[in-house]
Amino acid sequence: MTATDQAREMLAIAARAAQDTGGEDLVALDVSEPLPLVDIFLVVSGRSERNVAAIADAVEDQLLEAGHKRLRREGRHEARWVLIDFGDLVVHVFHEQERVYYGLERLWKDCPTVPIEQAEPARAE
């Protein structure tokens, strides 16, 4: 199996929201083969708890606005690792230190990556 078109559309929305709020080092993993209920993990880093919370809130708001239903959210209060489950897409927003410690990319290294469109930097006029 590979990630569905809907999961890829959700990824594009979530990645744009994360990038717009300072999310760094975005990695998307196609986990559809080992996990039958999830297609893509999006892993994002934030530099501080405030940044992690802002990234998670922006991702959640944009996906909800696009009509996708959130199934669950965990970790928002501590804002060190926020997990937002939208079914086909699960977003992991980490504080930099937690991302290194938990190493999700290392745990899921056998899963292929999914390309993420990078937001174009705003031009000064």
**In the chain, domain spans:** 5-107
Question: Which two three-digit tokens encode residue 25?
Answer: 């080092």
Task: Report d(CA 72, CA 15) in Å as an integer.
Answer: 19
| DSSP notation for 24-65 | EEEEEEE-TTT-TT--EEEEEEESSHHHHHHHHHHHHHHHHH
Q: Which pLDDT band holds residue 32 (cuts at 50, 70, 90)?
A: very high
Contact 68, 86 (CB under 8 A): yes
Q: Enter the CATH code of domain 5-107.
A: 3.30.460.10
Q: Give the chain's mean pLDDT.
A: 91
% of the chain at pLDDT higher than 90: 82
pLDDT band at 36 (very low <50, low <70, confident <90, very high): confident
120 band by pLDDT with thresholds 50, 70 and 90: low
For residue 19, how many other CB atoms are within 10 A of its CB?
20
Q: What is the pTM of this model?
A: 0.90
CA distance 53 to 94: 9
Integer angstrom CA distances of residue 39 from 57, 95, 99, 108, 120 = 21, 23, 21, 13, 26
| pLDDT of 118 strictly over 90 | no
Q: What is the pLDDT of residues 60-116, one digit of tens each?
A: 999 999 999 999 999 988 999 999 999 999 999 999 999 999 999 999 999 999 999
